[in-house]
Amino acid sequence: MIFADPPYNLSGAGFMTVKNGKPVACNKGKWDVIEDIHAFNRTWISECKRVLSDTGTIWISGTLHNHPSVGVLLKELNFWIINDIIWFKRNATPLLSKTRLAPSTELIWLASKSKNYYFDYDTAKELNGGKQMKNLWEIPAERHLTEHPTEKPVTLLERVLLLGSKIGDTVSDPVMGSGTTGAVAKKLARNFVGIEIDDNYFEIAKNRIAKTHIENILL
Ligand SMILES: C[S@@+](CC[C@H](N)C(=O)[O-])C[C@H]1O[C@@H](n2cnc3c(N)ncnc32)[C@H](O)[C@@H]1O
């Protein structure tokens, strides 16, 4: 299984965000400024297809700034699109400007190489109190555990890994940032292969994963 939370290309485009209660220009770092985002997406998604197992799934998060490009490429590269998941953050950062609706969602494409893929329907149902799970996931944004500016909630990754992989499977994240996917993979007794271009974030992820323990309850 692959989970990827690639650069959304939000920085340097004039978007504003809120930091310590003050409006500031959105600047996640150099890694979030990519000249030809569609070409970049094509390269890494093609490589993911090359290494993904025949029954594995790929989960790609994004916002409207990058998500259409990823969707087009999944079709072009002949992936089987399984779901578009909407992640709703009830506690999303408020918008200071009065020019648009406050963004409170992120989107996750779920795709595979063929119609024969692994998906744990029963666990999804169990996690949803015995009722069929829908593609609208309400999961709050969580307090960050590291200095990485776009750390994903552990709860979100736990759900993704529980539905898309089994104990002992190999999970990969080609843009692992602070290592959320790796930490959750270890906690849930999955193997993990992570890639990160920034040396500082790589160290943060490596230390975070090293300090994480497998949860006994699952073994
Ligand atoms: C949106 S963040 C991922 C955050 C991660 N999901 C987490 O929970 O911490 C994307 C990451 O991709 C990394 N990145 C950007 N371009 C990359 C590349 N070409 N190869 C590997 N990593 C890259 C960035 O340095 C950044 O840490």
Cα angle: 137, vertex 143, 149; to 5 degrees: 95
Q: Per-domain residue ranges for the chain?
A: 2-218
Residues with CB under 6 Å of ligand 1 are: 5, 7, 31, 148, 150-152, 175, 177-178, 180, 195-198, 201
pLDDT band at 216 (very low <50, low <70, confident <90, very high): low
- Mean pLDDT, to the nearest integer, of 80-109? 95
- Mean pLDDT, to the nearest integer, of 96-117? 95
Distance 32 CA to ligand 1 centre (A): 8
Q: What is the DSSP string of 45-61?
A: HHHHHHHS-TT-EEEEE
Which atom belonging to ligand 1 lies closest to the Cα atom of 32?
Answer: 15
Residue identifier of the C-alpha nearest atom 13 of ligand 1: 175
- What pTM value is reported for the model? 0.93
143-185 confidence digits (pLDDT tens): 999 999 999 999 999 999 999 999 999 999 999 999 999 999 9
Is the torsion defined by CA of 194, 205, 62, 59 positive or negative? positive
pLDDT at 13 over 90: no
Its CATH class, for the domain covering 2-218, is alpha beta
How far is it, in rounded angstroms, from Cα 170 to Cα 167?
9
How far is it, in rounded angstroms, from Cα 32 to Cα 10?
7
**127 or 16: which leads in pLDDT:** 127
Please tell me the predicted confidence (pLDDT) of residue 10: 72
Distance 132 CA to ligand 1 centre (A): 33
